[in-house]
Amino acid sequence: MFFHVDNLGFGELSCYSGGPFRGASTDRIDTFAAEGFRLTNYCPESQCTPTRSALLTGRHAIRSGTHSVPIGSSGGWGLVAWEKTIGELLSEAGYTCAAYGKWHVGEGRGRWPTDRGFEEWYGPPRTYDEALWPTDPWYDPERDPVSRMLEIKRGEPDVTEGEQLTLEVRRDCDAEYLRRAEAFIRRSVQNDAPFFLYFNHSLLHMPVIPRAEFKGRSGQGDWADSLLELDPTSARCSTCSSASPCASGRSTRPPRRASAPMQGRSTRSATRSWLLDVLV
């Protein structure tokens, strides 16, 4: 499991000496980090698109045609066709892969997550800034672009458009990501299948809006409230995965066509990792 968190500072989680200094302790994330692989020197790009591109491909974003966030693009942009993503590599090794949340490394047929090794995806194609569009007094959806939540499963010809990305949708979308992620994990566990979950939180990308049940809980403002909202996600996903035979080393069916470097490695450590996207 890989949780990608936009705009989260290096020292804001308790496991990185933050937490109380930011007005909220992240106890569940700390536990998740202790069970997995924690980096102490993680240097992302300065924007969402190149950071995601480098993560997914293991290469500098400028080599993949995704060195900056595209502004005003309506489709047909993204990772160059010859790139291999972690989703594709793990799928070839027998893993079931799913992505939830912002994609932001390609748009249009042939460039969706399902074209890059993931079996399903739900989220917005670009940035959560677009949730602010409807609040502009001059915004006209009949004239101006409309940003929507999208979803697609492998084998479908194109994405299905959902509700418009508004501040209300932005506020609550992580709950829907989590619902889908838990269902994906449970299916994988029931099928005794190794899996890779690429979970892209909407937090803490602007606009920072905690859900109603977390609003005011920290007493330190929306940012600290959002840290408290972020914290339970890792615990819920980890609880689902802990029942997996793969996570406990009890799998009776190894990944198909596993490459030599993957054989003999602890699947538990591979499926429990926490890495942070720190955007400046």
The larger pLDDT score, comparing residue 34 to residue 23, is at 34
Q: Which CATH class is domain 2-271?
A: alpha beta
Q: What is the pTM of this model?
A: 0.84
**180-214: pLDDT as tens digits:** 999 999 999 999 999 999 999 998 899 999 999 99
Instruction: Name the average pLDDT for the chain.
Output: 82
User: Which amino acids are annotated catalytic?
Assistant: 48, 104
**53-106: pLDDT as tens digits:** 999 999 999 888 888 887 656 678 889 989 999 999 999 999 999 999 999 999
Look at residue 262 and tell me whether its pLDDT is greater than 60: no
* pLDDT band with cut points at 50, 70 and 90 for residue 14: confident
The reported pLDDT for the residue numbered 243 is 55
Q: Mind giving me the DSSP string for the chain?
A: -EEE-TT--TTSSGGGT-GGGGT---HHHHHHHHHS-B-S-----SSHHHHHHHHHHSS-GGGTT-SS--SS--SSEES-TT---HHHHHHHTT-EEEEES---SEESTT-SGGGTT-SEEEE-SS-GGGGGGGGSTT--TTTS---EEEEEETT-SS-EEEEE--HHHHHHHHHHHHHHHHHHHHHHHHTT--EEEEEE--TTSSS----TTTTTSSSS-HHHHHHHHHHHHHHHHHHHHHT-TTTTT--SSPPTT--GGGTTS-HHHHHS-B------
Range with the lowest mean pLDDT among 59-63, 139-143, 267-271?
267-271
* pLDDT band with cut points at 50, 70 and 90 for residue 253: very low
